[in-house]
Amino acid sequence: MTELEKMRSNVFYRFDDSDVIASANHANALCAQLQTMTLNSANYRNVIEELVPGIPQNSCINPPFHCDHGHGIKMGENVFVNYNATMLDGGLITIGSRTKIGPNCQLVTPNHPMDFLERRLPQEKCSPITIGEDCWLGAGVIVCPGVTIGNRSVVGAGSVVVKDIPDDCLAVGNPAHVVRKLK
């Protein structure tokens, strides 16, 4: 497997690999361009479609926006991502249709080794994040590696999601916990 393939496979990979670096540099350059744009800027759609291939025409990401690669983000129809989102997409990030992501949210797939000696090496492991359809993440939500948020669930502002959230739930807190089922 190449290092990029390892990155997407939830196994340790070297982030100093030339292909991984080239992918990150490409995304960094496009994110830098977005910093001076709005949704209505003439070149916005071209830049966001190059950064996030396959983004539906009716989905949008409000700049400023930050990501590691961009090609690891998969979105459904009518997704809205508000200002200043960070999506570290070494692992795949899948966002279901009609989901709303509030400002300053962070979806983070990388994880470094727990052993300090292993952590000295240029390696990490990325676990995918999946957010279902018709979800709402309030402002400042952090979603940690490997988490799945079920369809139609709501995560309250400022929550840190470290475990899966089932369908049709309201979750809040740090760490986020389900406080009730939604009707």
Please state, as a whole number, how many other Cβ atoms lie within 10 Å of the Cβ of residue 76: 18
177 belongs to the catalytic site: no
* CA–CA distance, 180 with 153 (Å, rounded to integer): 10
How far apart CA 119 and CA 87 sit, in angstroms, is: 22
Concatenating the DSSP letter of every residue in the chain gives --HHHHHHTTS-EETTSHHHHHHHHHHHHHHHHHTT--TTSTTHHHHHHHHSTT--TT-EEPSSEEES-STTEEE-TT-EE-TTEEEE-SS-EEE-TT-EE-TT-EEE-EE--SSHHHHTSSEEEE--EEE-TT-EE-TT-EE-TT-EE-TT-EE-TT-EE-S-B-TTEEEEETTEEEEEE--
Q: Which of 26, 66, 69, 112 is catalytic?
A: 112
Active site residues: 112
